[in-house]
Structures are given as structure tokens and as C-alpha cells.
Amino acid sequence: METIVIALGGNALLNPSGRQSYAEGQRNMARVARSIVSIARGHRVVVTHGNGTQVGDELVRNISSKGEIDPLPLYAMTAETQGTIGSEIALALGREARLRGIGMRVGCVLTHVVVSPRDPSFSRPAKPIGPTMALGELKRYRMGGMGIAKSKGGYRLTVASPRPREILELDAIRDLSRSGIVVACGGGGVPVVRRGSSLQGAAAVIDKDSTTRLLANSLGAGTMLILTDAGYVYADYPKNKWAITEMPASSMKRFADRFEAGSIRPKVEAAVEFVENGGKEARIGNLFELDGIMKGRSGTRVY
């Protein structure tokens, strides 16, 4: 039975920051769950998810305490949001399976991902996180390992985004996938570094799509799906907005500089790496068009 790894965009699913209600997030997850359960009837399915907005919200809650509580380290915020979002996804998948009368197990694995302490991103933290704020205010909230970058309307904190090296719970994820759907590697995983014989949390946020790629290749998946709020990968966006329906990985790699940095480019890079490392195909498309993506009627196919 083929393994399919599905990455869900966190922004489109569950956004508790006020830009989307909690109830709306649950309705969104229920829509996606119907498609995922259908796929799982004929495939082994592992689901990953983003948490960018949610980690930013958690950061705001920590820094808004104004010293009344000790702020959580960044890796702990990833662990918190990984558990919260993963729980919601697992519950939605379980409800959908029961509604259909399918005896399908759903498990959620809190996942740690090893990164190198010598990754260059630690010396140049460039991944934006949290809200846009005034520079003076932001400086009071900056924690160790964070930088500050100018943003539209103000400034944002930046953090390291190191490359994932190893998924510690890989064997558990593989074993659980043989008997049901597994939710894992949320938010790119909790980043940890090796210090001698021990592991320590790292002040970083790992790119979710990069970890999804590593997971998919490590599991020997044939297909990787990256779901976002766009229907296709667009080259030269936003000038020409040329939709790409399918393209070989080698050609897509040559187009890398024509994709929007920080949004679609990491997804394209993950798709290309997946195919280069033995995957059959990767598809990138809209979160709510999963059925059409699977049937080739929607989304961008990289092969």
C-alpha cells in the first residue's frame, strides 16, 4: 500500500488570532477531513501541518504578560502549538471516520526534529515571526537568538530557520501509519540540537515543508501533497501570475528564482527535493480542493 504524506497549511486551517474564528477553523478542518479519510481508505496517510500564525500568537501572549510570567522558550511554543493543532486535526479525522462507519485509528505524535547547532541560520536569524510592532516596543520583547527586521508598517522579530536533519520519532510514525492515519511533524517539529549525549531545545522554527519533505522521503512515500491557500504554483507572481499545472523537478528547480520567496518558494523547493530523493510526484494546491488534486484536475504536479 502506497504511503501519501499530506502537509496542511496552518494559516488556512486554524487561526485563533482573531482573523478567523475558532468555530470557522473547525469547519475548515471538517471539510479537509472528509477528503483525507477518503484517501486513507486506499493508502497509508501521514499528515503534517503548519503553525506559523499560531506560534506568533503564542509569542504575543508571552510578551504581553509584561514579566508576570516567565516567557516560554521558542521551541516550547512550537511544542504547545503542535499539540493543540494536532489534537484538532486528529479529532476531526476521527469524527469523520466514525460518521462513515470506518474502523480507522488516528494517532498524533509529538515530534522532535534534530538540527545542526552550526546551521548558518543561527548566526543570521531571518524568518519573520509574530506581529508587526514599533521598533522600541519590539526591542523590549526580543529574546536570545532573535533578530529584528523592517516590515510593512513597522518591524517584526526574526528567528533562525535551520534545515531539518533527523526526525527522532520516525520509527513510531512509520509503525502507527500501518494501522491508521498519523498526524506528526507539526510546525516543522520541535527543534532540538545534540549536545554530547543529550538533546536540547533550540531557539528556532523549522520550515514545515522542509520537514514534510524529509519525512516523506524517510517513509518511502510515493506522493507528497502540500496544501495551501493557492490553487496552483504561480511563476512571476504577482506581475504575470503564470499558473503551472505540471513540470519536471529538474525544470522547476531552474525556475526557483521566479517564485515568491518566503511563501511558495519553500514549497516548490520541498517538492523538487522530494522527487530528487526518490519520490514519485509532489502536488501543490488549494487546501479545499484535495479531491481534485488527487485526480489531477487541480494543483501543480512536480514529477
Is 66 one of the catalytic residues?
Answer: no
Nearest to 232 by CA among 266, 283, 275: 283
Q: Which residue is associated with the grid cell 470506518? A: 102
Catalytic position from the list 50, 51, 94, 208: 208
Reported residue count of the chain is 303
How far from each other are the two terminal CA atoms of the chain, in whole angstroms? 20
Is 295 one of the catalytic residues?
Answer: no
Is 127 one of the catalytic residues?
Answer: yes
Distance CA 299, CA 40 (A): 20
Catalytic position from the list 62, 267, 285, 299: 267
3-state DSSP call for residue 251? helix
Beta carbons within 8 Å of 29's beta carbon, 6+ residues apart: 13, 14, 88, 89, 92
Catalytic position from the list 9, 94, 127, 279: 127
Distance CA 166, CA 9 (A): 22
Is 280 one of the catalytic residues?
Answer: no
Compute, in degrees rounded to 10, the torsion defined by CA atoms 244, 217, 215, 36. 60
Are 220 and 3 in contact by the 8 Å Cβ rule? The answer is yes
Is 130 one of the catalytic residues?
Answer: no
Are 115 and 193 in contact by the 8 Å Cβ rule? The answer is yes
Catalytic position from the list 9, 10, 50, 299: 10
Catalytic position from the list 9, 11, 107, 279: 11
Active-site annotation, residues: 10-11, 127, 208, 267
